[in-house]
Amino acid sequence: MRRPKTAFFDLSCCEGCQLQVVNAGELLLEIVNLVDIVEFREAISETWAGELDVAFVEGSVTDEHAAARLTAIRARAKVLVALGSCATTGGVNGMKNALDLAEVGRIVYGEDRRLFPTAATRALHQVVPVDYTIHGCPIYLPEFLTVLKCILAGLPYTAPDQAVCTECKRIENVCLFDRGVSCLGPVTRAGCNSWCVNNGNICYGCRGLVSNPNEKGMLKVLTAHGVSLEHVVKKMELYNRCRAEVVERGR
Ligand code: SF4
Ligand code: SF4
Ligand code: SF4
């Protein structure tokens, strides 16, 4: 049976999500048995200019060059997958949108800024249609495998839309708020199995906000633990620059 021609591409990002795939260990052997990887700059030197069955695209669209490149990838891919938060929500690149772009260019490139025209950060779906979405910074490998299986089986995949707290409670972690630390789990989309909290860190909201965040519940938790809304909104802006106002509305 012909294995689907599959490629990995990167736009503006740190390439950490591709690294998750490269670091999949023995699972990587299973993956290459399932798909024919024809381009994957972080792993192989071959390139491919023909049609693609599946294109995984990591990173955000942060200039018109990236938008044109993404459009060209979309035109030759039957299935396009947004890989990681930079691609699915704009991720950390979204912070740029809060600043004056000319000023951003001046700070980063100084006198040479005209050589590097920039644009507001966009997630992939704001430029081209996206078939599958894998959130996370970086992606959570078990979810990547689930999505890959869905693609191969021709099934849709819907990312979980409940809060990270639901996973964290199942694992019976002690809530970080009870340890005097604030955490974005109550309003962040699950699907990572509360990965960061399990490993002694807070949830930074990398998977984006749930579609219907319990704003009043979150405010109740903050009030009970003496945490200011401003403090949490600032944390949320790291990954959710465009949607921090959602919590603001709960005031
Ligand atoms: S989502 Fe995070 S880990 Fe993945 S490419 Fe973007 S910054 Fe890197
Ligand atoms: S707030 Fe954070 S630590 Fe507390 S239950 Fe939710 S995810 Fe877990
Ligand atoms: S716990 Fe939060 S920050 Fe960590 S991977 Fe999950 S959604 Fe992202």
**CA-CA-CA-CA torsion sign (149, 164, 238, 243):** positive
**Which pLDDT value is given to residue 199?**
97
pLDDT, one tens digit per residue, over 99-124 is 898 999 999 999 999 999 999 899 99
CA distances from 67 to 13, 121, 123, 174 (A): 14, 10, 10, 44
Range list of β-strands (E), 59-209: 77-83, 132-134
Q: Whose CA is nearest to atom 6 of ligand 1?
A: 86
| Distance from Cα 13 to the centre of ligand 2, integer Å | 28
Which ligand ends up closest to the CA of 217? 2
Q: Grade residue 250 by pLDDT with cuts at 50, 70 and 90.
A: very low
| Distance from Cα 140 to the centre of ligand 1, integer Å | 11
Asked if residue 196 has its Cβ within 6 Å of ligand 3, the reply is yes
Angle between helices 26-34 and 141-153 (to 10 degrees): 20
CB 57 within 8 A of CB 79: no
Residues 167-178, mean pLDDT to the nearest whole number: 96
The pocket around ligand 1, CB under 6 angstroms, is made up of 13-17, 58-59, 84-86, 91-92, 137-138
* pTM for the predicted model, two decimal places: 0.93
- Tell me phi and psi for residue 221, to 5 degrees: -65, -45
Q: Grade residue 154 by pLDDT with cuts at 50, 70 and 90.
A: very high
- Given a cut of 90, whether residue 245 has pLDDT beyond it is no
Give the rounded distance of the alpha carbon of 130 from its chain centre: 13
**Which pLDDT value is given to residue 227?**
92
pLDDT, one tens digit per residue, over 18-76 is 999 999 999 999 999 999 999 999 999 999 999 999 999 999 999 999 999 999 999 99
Which ligand ends up closest to the CA of 188? 3
Asked if residue 203 has its Cβ within 6 Å of ligand 3, the reply is yes
Average model confidence (pLDDT) for the chain?
Answer: 92
pLDDT, one tens digit per residue, over 75-100 is 999 999 999 999 999 999 999 888 89
- Given a cut of 60, whether residue 2 has pLDDT beyond it is yes
- Given a cut of 70, whether residue 246 has pLDDT beyond it is no
Q: Grade residue 242 by pLDDT with cuts at 50, 70 and 90.
A: low
pLDDT, one tens digit per residue, over 183-233 is 999 999 999 999 999 999 999 999 999 999 888 888 899 999 999 989 888
**pLDDT more than 70, % of the chain:** 96
CA distances from 7 to 63, 100, 130 (A): 22, 35, 15
Core vs surface per residue 62-74: b (16+ CB within 10 A) or e:
bbeebbeebeebb
**Which pLDDT value is given to residue 96?**
87
**Which pLDDT value is given to residue 124?**
96
